[in-house]
Amino acid sequence: MKWLNLLIKYRLWLGIVFLALAIYTNIEAGFWPSFILYLLAVIAIVGHFLFGPMRLIQTHMEQGDMEGSKKVLDSIWFPGLLIKPVRSVYYTIKGNLDMVNQNYDSAEKNLKKSNELMGNSSLMQGQMKQAEGANKLQLGMLAIQKGDMKQGESYIRQAIRAGLPDNENNAAAYLQLCSIMMNKREFRAAKDFFRKAKSFKPTTPQIVDQIKQIEKYIGRMPG
C-alpha cells in the first residue's frame, strides 16, 4: 500500500513535526490539549528507531532494486536500536547485498550477526525459523566458496534442520550436499541427496542446469 510506504518513509519527520506542534500547543493551551500530539510524536519516533523502514527494503528487494535497498539500509542510523528480529533481517539484507557485490568477507560477517540474533530471539517462530535456515544456507555456500568444505557441510545440514522457505532453497541445499559427498567419495550418500534435490522439482534455471550436469554421470557411480 503506497500510503503505508509513504508513512514509513517519512515517519521520523512526521514525529518531529508532531513533537514541535505538541510543544507549541502545550505552551499555548496546556498539557492535556497537546497530549494526543505528544502521543503521536512518541509512536512515530520510537517506531522509526525500533522497527526501521524494513517494509521499504522488502519492496525494493522484490523489484530487484539493489541500489534502492542500499539507500534504505543506509537511512538506518542506529541499527543497534532495532528490535532483535528486525535487526536480524537488517544484517541478512546487508549480507545479501555484500554477496551481490562479491564482498564475501563482509557478507559472512553480517550473516553471522544475523544468525546470532535469530538464535537469541524468543520471537523466532514460523517465518523467522525459515529465515534462519536460509541464512545458514548462505553461510554454507560462502564457506564452500572459500574452500572450507567441512564448515560448509555443517552450515547446510543446520539449514535443512532449521527449515528452508521454498523448493528452490531445499533443492540447492541438497545439491550442495550431493557435491560434497561426491568430493568425499561417499557415493551412496551423494545419490540419496541428489534424489532429494530432484524431488523438490526446482524451476530456477541455474539449479535445473546443475541437476542436468550431475545426472550425466551420477548413475555411473558405485554404491
Share above pLDDT 90 across residues of the chain, in percent, rounded to a whole number: 59
Say what the pTM is. Answer: 0.76
1-5, 105-109, 170-174, 196-200: least confident range: 1-5
The rounded distance, in Å, linking the Cα atoms of 109 and 84 is 17
Residue range 113-123: average pLDDT? Answer: 72
Provide CB contacts within 8 A for 184, sequence distance 6+. Answer: none
- Does residue 55 surpass a pLDDT of 50? yes
Contacts of 154 (CB under 8 A, 6+ apart): 140
Among 82-86, 116-120, 184-188, 199-203, where is mean pLDDT lowest?
116-120
Return the minimum-mean-pLDDT range out of 1-5, 46-50, 88-92, 185-189.
Answer: 1-5
pLDDT value at 124 more than 50 = no
207 or 59, which is more confident: 207
For the residues 16-30, what does the mean pLDDT come to?
A: 95
pLDDT computed for residue 127 by the predictor:
52
What DSSP designation does 80 have? G
Reported in sequence order, the residue ranges of 10-79 that DSSP labels E, i.e. its strands, are none
Task: Determine how many CB atoms are found less than 10 A away from the CB of residue 121.
Answer: 16
Least confident range from 10-19, 82-91, 151-160: namely 82-91
What pLDDT is stored for residue 172 in this prediction? 95
pLDDT confidence of residue 129: 60
Domain boundaries, the chain: 131-185+194-223
- Mean pLDDT for 6-18 is 92
Q: What is the mean pLDDT of residues 9-25?
A: 95
Angle at 94 between CA 92 and CA 96, to 5 degrees: 70
Give the number of other Cβ atoms within 10 Å of residue 221's Cβ. Answer: 13
Summarize the confidence of residues 197-211 as an average pLDDT.
93
Whether the pLDDT of residue 140 is over 90: the answer is yes
Cell of 54: 524494513
